[in-house]
Structure 1
Amino acid sequence: MKFAHLADTHLGYRQYGLFEREKDFYEVFDKVIDKIIEEKVDFVVHSGDLFETARPSPMALLTFQKGLLKLKGAGIPMYAIAGNHDVVMRKGSIPPHVIFKKMGLKVISTINPTYIHGDIFIAGLPYYPASHGKALKSKLAELSEKATHHEKSILVLHQGIDQYFNLNYELELGEIPDNFDYYALGHIHKYVNDTYGKGRLVYPGSGEIWKTSELPDYKKNGKGFVVVDFDGTKPIVKRVTVDIPREFIERNLNYNNLETDIAAIKDTIKGFDKKPILKLTIKDVESDTSRVYEIIKEELGDLSLMIRPTFIMAGEEIEPIDVESKKLGPEQLIEKSLEGYGNSEVTTLAIDLYHLLSKDKLDESQEIINQYFDAHYSNVVEDVEFKTEEVKKPQPPEEKEDVQVTFSKEVSE
């Protein structure tokens, strides 16, 4: 028995507002589905962020439907959970996945968190924000207990774990049950394949480059999915990569050698089928940056889909930023500003609200505020005793002599 594990396909993502980039994500997904069928797996696990939003575009829905029907035609079912992009943080809401249940998609949810495929127990949960940590750990304990009754088991989650995602995580590694044979994780876009408990813990990474910080991992591990062989005593994980439609090119250019550096980029991208995205750092700039940008745009604009330049002026020293060791960004600013409050739950609530409000998810924001209030303050009002007999009636103000104010009309020139 073997299965494919993928995650973070983000169908419908229009990176940089470009429809070409949205189509790239669809193209990669089609390639992944075809490769999965070639691998002759028994089933597929998708561990979250199938779509970019909880309200996918018609094209995103049609692309997934096409892939799902291909799998169905090959006799390969898919099990999927909702990630933080798929889920709507509101009571009674449902992820877009449910549209495809009648087409054979097995939706793993809080209502139906477990399935049996042959002799394999498949359990999972949709994304839980950090502010819902207690509920998540309680649910995980329940699934862990159920897994003890099965010889082989898979846990499907879409969560950031501290050991692999040290900026803003929802779980510490030790908080995950250790009695599953395979941990099918999503949420982190880099490839992770590690041992945990008695099995393997794997993040297959995203299918496409969702942001430029993924480039180092892409150069090392590529983009794609994994195939897991469950026939032996321990799962065997094989990495399967797919070619992304267009390349991201990172280059350092020197202002004093601009012509030669631009010529080298032209040689690099000459044979590409699709226009690449250029991430350029121009150093030792001695004149107006707008003029430098115009030169780059004139030379490379027609050969690239987008140019993302960073300018470093002459004499300016830029300290390299190690994002793995330095806490940067809005989440960390929120953490720092609330350090003195002494309540980690307030901090996680604030971070969750930041992510929701930045995407105009007003209903979801109101919902997690309501949930937090219900969990922490629902009993406060009930405990208050209103003793109306002790309330003194307001007394009329003391009578005072009328004061007449006379304004003299004086105009000074």
Structure 2
Amino acid sequence: MKMTVKIAHLADTHLGYRQYGIQEREDDFYDAFKNVVDDIIEKDVDYVIHCGDLFEQPKPPIKALLVAQECFNKLMENNIEVYVIAGNHDILQRRKTSLPQELFENDNFHIISTKNNHHILKEDIYLTGLPYLQKVHEAQVKDMLDELVLETRAHKHSILMLHGGVSKLFGFECEFENDTIPEGFDYYALGHIHERKMDKFKNGLLCYPGSTEIKNKGEISEYENKGKGYVLLSVDDSVEAEYVNIDLERKFIVCDIKYSELDIRLDEIADKINNEILVNTDKKPVLILNIKEGDFERSEVSGKIYDKLGDISLSVRLSYEPTIIIDDHKEINDLLSPKKALINRIKTDIDEQFESLGVDLYNSLAKRDLEEAKEISDTFYEKFYYKGEENDNK
């Protein structure tokens, strides 16, 4: 009797990542992974495929390893087999080094690698893939994929697991050009890009599940619009995919606040936190506030914000865009503000894609937040400019 096979596709869990250097944010990444696993079990899934960046770094903290072990054991106790590939964050770029995932390897936990690159699942589903390989190796990747696709002809359905960006979906240089990935697979399971993308690709379906937690500011609006979680595949006569949303308990509040409205807006935010957020959870929100338009002292503004919101927030991230006052007391607002001047200079001298990077770095460095500046730089580098240098671990 033919049955429908259910497969959960997830990626970019980044266990061990400590956002803003705060333990609670590290724990949020663990909680997100646990909640995804619980939902997968509840939906009676047959298999889990994880398409890379299980961990934030190739030498994860002990707690990250323990959480991963707990979750994988839970899946296997419910007869759910796990298949994983390594992402760029999982790999230590030196020869003869092991993956942290090897700690969990057994008859029900499988690592798909260049040497052990395919498995046959129930109902004759051919599952194959490759770990993350740097852009410089794209020619070799194409040759390996051309060999792997030959086996699809002998099976009813086929799934390919990869970690990297595909040029078809993104307007920047990616790990894979369209021609690198062959036609012939029913489902192309991808990781690496943290936003959700699903599109037809070479007579199949290509999909990014996105990350399971918010790793940078740019993911906040993505989460609000599309959610976070995983993809649920249903395989019978065809392959169908749908996104499953798993709500994040920690809330982010992002606001632009005019200095003239500061007191009113702070009261509104405090009211929202106390009467909407903290009545449903004990997880205090992260605030990302930009104060603009006015002649003000940053120390005075930050003091007022922390007095009003500090105790009811996990973290307050501040940026400032004050009005400049020149000698004749004439106000220069957006036209000649440092931010606007920076944007104009970038547009003149460099490609437009660097505009948001310059502004975000300006905002972070203006408030002396070196960690956030590094996070912004790393995220931009991965997404827009990564060329696969040999010693890069990002």
| Range into which the TM-score falls when normalised by the shorter chain | 0.7 to 0.9
Residues 270-302 of structure 1: per-residue CA shift (max 9 Å, x gap): 232211111111111312212211111111111
1:136 aligns with 2:163: no
1:311 aligns with 2:320: yes
Distance 1:166 1:242 in 2: 28
1:76 is matched with 80
Relative to structure 1, is the Cα distance of residues 350 and 83 closer, same or farther in structure 2, using a 3 angstrom cutoff? closer
Question: Could you state the TM-score of these two structures normalised by the residue count of structure 2?
Answer: 0.81
- Check conservation: 2:291, 2:318, Cα contact below 8 A: yes
- What's the offset of the Cα at 1:325? 6.1
1:265 aligns with 2:269: yes
Relative to structure 1, is the Cα distance of residues 51 and 327 closer, same or farther in structure 2, using a 3 angstrom cutoff? same
**Aligned with 2:210 (options 205, 209, 221):** 205
- What's the offset of the Cα at 1:327? 3.8
- Check conservation: 1:48, 1:82, Cα contact below 8 A: yes
Relative to structure 1, is the Cα distance of residues 351 and 238 closer, same or farther in structure 2, using a 3 angstrom cutoff? closer
1:277 is matched with 286
2:375 is matched with none
Relative to structure 1, is the Cα distance of residues 220 and 174 closer, same or farther in structure 2, using a 3 angstrom cutoff? farther
**Aligned with 1:286 (options 285, 289, 295):** 295
Alignment of 1:234-253 (within 5 A): 235-253=239-257
Match of 1:132, SS state, is helix
2:58 is matched with 54
1:44 is matched with 48
- Check conservation: 1:82, 1:127, Cα contact below 8 A: yes
1:175 aligns with 2:180: yes
Alignment of 1:10-409 (within 5 A): 10-102=14-106, 104-118=108-122, 119-233=124-238, 235-270=239-274, 271-272=276-277, 273=281, 274-314=283-323, 315-317=332-334, 318=339, 326-327=353-354, 352=389, 355-356=392-393
Match of 2:290, SS state, is strand
- What's the offset of the Cα at 1:350? 6.7
Distance 2:226 2:248 in 1: 13
Relative to structure 1, is the Cα distance of residues 120 and 262 closer, same or farther in structure 2, using a 3 angstrom cutoff? same
**Aligned AA for 1:76?**
I
Distance 2:69 2:127 in 1: 23
Distance 2:388 2:287 in 1: 32
User: How many residues are matched?
Assistant: 338
Match of 2:289, SS state, is strand
Question: Could you state the TM-score of these two structures normalised by the residue count of structure 1?
Answer: 0.78
- Check conservation: 1:46, 1:79, Cα contact below 8 A: yes
Distance 1:25 1:54 in 2: 16
Which 10-residue stretch deviates more, 268-277 or 26-35?
Answer: 268-277
**Aligned AA for 2:64?**
A
Percent identity among equivalent residues?
Answer: 40
Higher-Rg member (1/2): 1
- What's the offset of the Cα at 1:164? 3.1
- What's the offset of the Cα at 1:91? 1.8
Q: Which runs of 5+ in 2 are unaligned?
A: 324-331, 359-384
Distance 1:14 1:262 in 2: 27
- Check conservation: 2:93, 2:392, Cα contact below 8 A: no
Distance 1:154 1:350 in 2: 26
Which 10-residue stretch deviates more, 169-178 or 311-320?
Answer: 311-320
- Check conservation: 2:12, 2:54, Cα contact below 8 A: yes
Match of 1:326, SS state, is helix
Distance 1:30 1:211 in 2: 20
Distance 1:349 1:210 in 2: 18
Distance 1:299 1:349 in 2: 41
Relative to structure 1, is the Cα distance of residues 349 and 183 closer, same or farther in structure 2, using a 3 angstrom cutoff? closer
Residues 231-265 of structure 1: per-residue CA shift (max 9 Å, x gap): 133x1112111111201111111101110011111
Q: Which runs of 5+ in 1 are unaligned?
A: 331-347, 360-413
**Aligned AA for 2:313?**
S
- What's the offset of the Cα at 1:349? 8.7
Relative to structure 1, is the Cα distance of residues 22 and 313 closer, same or farther in structure 2, using a 3 angstrom cutoff? same
**Aligned with 1:7 (options 7, 11, 19):** 11
- What's the offset of the Cα at 1:352? 2.4
Relative to structure 1, is the Cα distance of residues 11 and 130 closer, same or farther in structure 2, using a 3 angstrom cutoff? same
- Check conservation: 2:167, 2:174, Cα contact below 8 A: yes
Distance 2:148 2:81 in 1: 22
Distance 2:392 2:318 in 1: 27
- Check conservation: 1:2, 1:231, Cα contact below 8 A: no
Distance 1:349 1:30 in 2: 30
